[in-house]
């Protein structure tokens, strides 16, 4: 297995902790351990009394029950806790794909979804969405790409980097197409519950189809990436067991303090989500005003979910522009070349400080 450089994460490794204002992050503003523990009366005591032995391989009963609260048809027994969604991408794709297998991956996408699938030796087709088509999902194209023995289809909704939800009829058709072939639907739902209008929320894929694997995380919608806690939910026991087998080679089991804290967060997620959604909506107004004011330079299909959006920015070399913006103005964007979309940049709207960041971006553009 050979993996290419993870361009998205290399960018953040270089800039995230040395740049003042985050204007591209895909996670929402976080909270402290103290704030999290204050959400339940006995949580602090329970954390202090927690013993730090190995934990149960699929995750504690407490955490899996809290996770199952996100689903209608999928119970705690169908959940496997993981060290964040990143471990899920790795475990699912390495467990289910290998030479001779065929997979389809929606693009542009979070880089590991494509890179890990390719690294297994599987034959990987990309289901491409294009800005010129308004990032539309072309179902005819998906049907052309699918083969009778396609093993896995990866989709992501709400979507990184466009910040858009898949239309419900598209998801239903994707499920149908997978079911006809017995393909696993690997649905990355790490931005679920951060629809700008909650009415847009789709059913989780694991509730719709037995052979769907829903991928979740506390990193994004709930703003807790430092817990490194994610999960897969899947009603097919053999698929789950394949993921557990892979997990035994990566982390074996989850971090005990993180399991406890993630369970507290998920049981109390309504308040956390509302706080984050309010912040995203406020920052989205700033983003809309920015796009309107700079109509000759920037345009986009506005996001309807998640804290991110993916405008086109006509400034020449967007990587060089983003580097200069970070170093000279202290504002971090993400250049679209990390998604093989070099004309775009990723905006992040889930953090405080966006007003100042947009003001510095405006001044930087004016001076350029």
Ligand X SMILES: Cc1ncc(COP(=O)(O)O)c(C=O)c1O
Site for ligand X in 67-106 (CB under 6 A): 84-86
User: Quick one: which of 189, 186, 206, 187 has its CA closest to 78?
Assistant: 206
Site for ligand X in 288-347 (CB under 6 A): none
Taking the complex as a whole, the smallest distance from the CB of residue 314 to ligand X amounts, in Å, to 25
Taking the complex as a whole, the smallest distance from the CB of residue 31 to ligand X amounts, in Å, to 16
Between 9 and 101, name the residue whose CB sits nearer to ligand X.
9
Tell how many helices (H) and how many strands (E) occur in the chain: 14, 14
Site string for ligand X, 216-255 (x = CB under 6 A): -x-x-----x----x-------------------------
Q: Tell me: does residue 26 bind ligand X (CB under 6 A).
A: yes
Residue-level length of the chain: 368
CB distance 234 to 81 below 8 Å: no
Distance CA 310, CA 312 (A): 7
Taking the complex as a whole, the smallest distance from the CB of residue 219 to ligand X amounts, in Å, to 3
Between 85 and 170, name the residue whose CB sits nearer to ligand X.
85
Taking the complex as a whole, the smallest distance from the CB of residue 290 to ligand X amounts, in Å, to 23
Between 215 and 329, name the residue whose CB sits nearer to ligand X.
215
Distance CA 179, CA 236 (A): 13
Distance CA 215, CA 92 (A): 10
Site string for ligand X, 103-132 (x = CB under 6 A): -------x----------------------
Distance CA 227, CA 255 (A): 9
Taking the complex as a whole, the smallest distance from the CB of residue 41 to ligand X amounts, in Å, to 28
Distance CA 22, CA 19 (A): 7
Q: Tell me: does residue 273 bind ligand X (CB under 6 A).
A: no
Q: Tell me: does residue 156 bind ligand X (CB under 6 A).
A: yes
Taking the complex as a whole, the smallest distance from the CB of residue 9 to ligand X amounts, in Å, to 8
Distance CA 281, CA 163 (A): 13
- Return all residues near 323 (Cβ < 8 A) that are at least 6 apart: none
**Of all helices (H) and strands (E), which one includes residue 19?**
none
Distance CA 259, CA 185 (A): 26
Site for ligand X in 163-222 (CB under 6 A): 188, 190, 217, 219
**Helix H segments across 228-339?**
237-247, 256-267, 269-293, 318-324
Between 230 and 350, name the residue whose CB sits nearer to ligand X.
230
Between 7 and 324, name the residue whose CB sits nearer to ligand X.
7
- Binding region for ligand X (CB under 6 A): 26, 84-86, 110, 156, 160, 188, 190, 217, 219, 225, 230
């Amino acid at each position: 297995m050979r993996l290419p450089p993870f361009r998205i994460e290399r960018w953040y490794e270089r800039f995230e902790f040395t740049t003042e204002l985050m204007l591209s992050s895909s996670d929402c503003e976080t909270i402290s351990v103290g704030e999290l523990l204050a959400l339940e009366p006995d949580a602090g005591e329970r954390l202090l009394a927690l013993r730090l032995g190995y934990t149960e391989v699929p995750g504690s009963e407490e955490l899996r029950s809290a996770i199952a609260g996100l689903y209608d048809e999928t119970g705690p027994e169908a959940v496997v806790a993981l060290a964040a969604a990143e471990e899920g991408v790795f475990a699912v794709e390495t467990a289910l794909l290998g030479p001779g297998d065929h997979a389809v991956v929606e693009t542009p996408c979070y880089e590991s979804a494509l890179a890990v699938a390719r690294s297994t030796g599987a034959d990987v087709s990309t289901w491409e969405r294009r800005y010129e088509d308004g990032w539309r999902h072309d179902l005819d194209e998906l049907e052309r790409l699918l083969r009778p023995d396609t093993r896995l289809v990866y989709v992501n909704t709400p979507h990184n980097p466009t910040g858009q939800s898949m239309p419900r009829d598209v998801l239903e058709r994707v499920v149908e197409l997978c079911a006809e072939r017995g393909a696993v639907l690997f649905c990355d739902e790490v931005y679920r519950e951060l629809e700008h209008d909650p009415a847009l929320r789709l059913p989780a894929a694991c509730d719709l189809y037995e052979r769907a694997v829903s991928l979740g995380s506390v990193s994004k919608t709930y703003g807790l990436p430092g817990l490194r806690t994610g999960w897969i939910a899947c009603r097919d026991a053999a698929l789950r067991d394949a993921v557990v087998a892979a997990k035994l080679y990566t982390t074996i089991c989850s971090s005990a303090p993180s399991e406890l804290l993630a369970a507290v967060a998920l049981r109390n997620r309504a308040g956390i989500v509302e706080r984050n959604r309010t912040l995203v909506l406020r920052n989205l107004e700033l983003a809309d005003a920015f796009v309107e004011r700079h109509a000759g330079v920037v345009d986009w299909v506005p996001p309807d979910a998640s804290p991110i959006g993916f405008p086109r920015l006509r400034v020449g070399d967007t990587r060089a522009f983003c580097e200069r913006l970070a170093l000279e103005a202290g504002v971090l964007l993400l250049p679209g070349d990390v998604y093989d979309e070099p004309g775009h940049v990723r905006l992040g709207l889930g953090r405080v400080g966006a007003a100042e960041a947009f003001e510095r971006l405006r001044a930087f553009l004016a001076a350029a």
